[in-house]
Amino acid sequence: MDLLLIFISAAIVNNFVLSYFLGICPFLGVSNRLEKAFSMGVASTFVMVLAAMATWIINNWILIPFNLPFLQYVAFIIVIASLVQFVEMFIRKSSPTLYRSLGIFLPLITTNCAILGLALLSALREYNFLQSLTFGFAAGVGFTIALCIMAGIREELDLAPIPEPFKGAPITLIIAGLLALAFMGFAGLISG
């Protein structure tokens, strides 16, 4: 029940993109085609789960025993960056097909603030291992949902009669704002 709550909370109610405003750059950058958005979402989910695991281990086995929680930011950035690098190499070797479909997105994800936000939030909330794993997965799912909704709308927008000055970035930002507003509707569902 606890895990389910964490899942729904992170995926929908406190959606990383639309209510914490983390990971806005891929949200705007890679959301012009549904297919691409989905690949990006899957790749992000994958990295988020891994990052949640790795940062939990670093935080609970190294930083807390040595009384160094103030180093969380630096340590997490190092962990996430090296993890992504490693995963990229591994995928490139083991599955060229997967590498080609995720390849371009993996390096992009390294610098995605949603991943760092995820690690910091789960440390702040003192989740146990299973909880942070769920949190990571849910955050990834939420990210994918947001990206796919955005991409779906933007594909429709290509055909819509948008006034010239609003074409491109302006209408995208307006849509992003409206989506965030819509997601606020979930706010009453679960608190926390």
The verdict on 62 binding another protein (CB under 8 A) reads yes
Residue 22 CB, nearest approach to another protein (Å): 24
The verdict on 95 binding another protein (CB under 8 A) reads no
The verdict on 97 binding another protein (CB under 8 A) reads no
CB atoms near residue 110 (< 10 Å): 19
The verdict on 162 binding another protein (CB under 8 A) reads no
CB atoms near residue 51 (< 10 Å): 29
* Residues 42, 11, 154: CA angle, nearest 5 degrees: 60
Q: By C-beta, is 163 or 188 nearer to another protein?
A: 163
The verdict on 123 binding another protein (CB under 8 A) reads no
Q: By C-beta, is 67 or 191 nearer to another protein?
A: 67
- Label residue 190 left, alpha or beta by phi (over 0 means left) and psi (-120 to 50 means alpha): beta
**Residue 52 · residue 135 · CB < 8 Å:** yes
User: For residue 52, how far is the Cα from the chain centroid?
Assistant: 11
Q: By C-beta, is 116 or 146 nearer to another protein?
A: 116
The verdict on 86 binding another protein (CB under 8 A) reads yes
CA distance 126 to 132: 9
Q: By C-beta, is 162 or 189 nearer to another protein?
A: 162
CA distance 76 to 73: 5
Residues engaged in binding another protein (CB under 8 A) = 58, 62-63, 66-68, 70-71, 74-75, 78-79, 82, 85-86, 89-90, 92-93, 96, 164-165
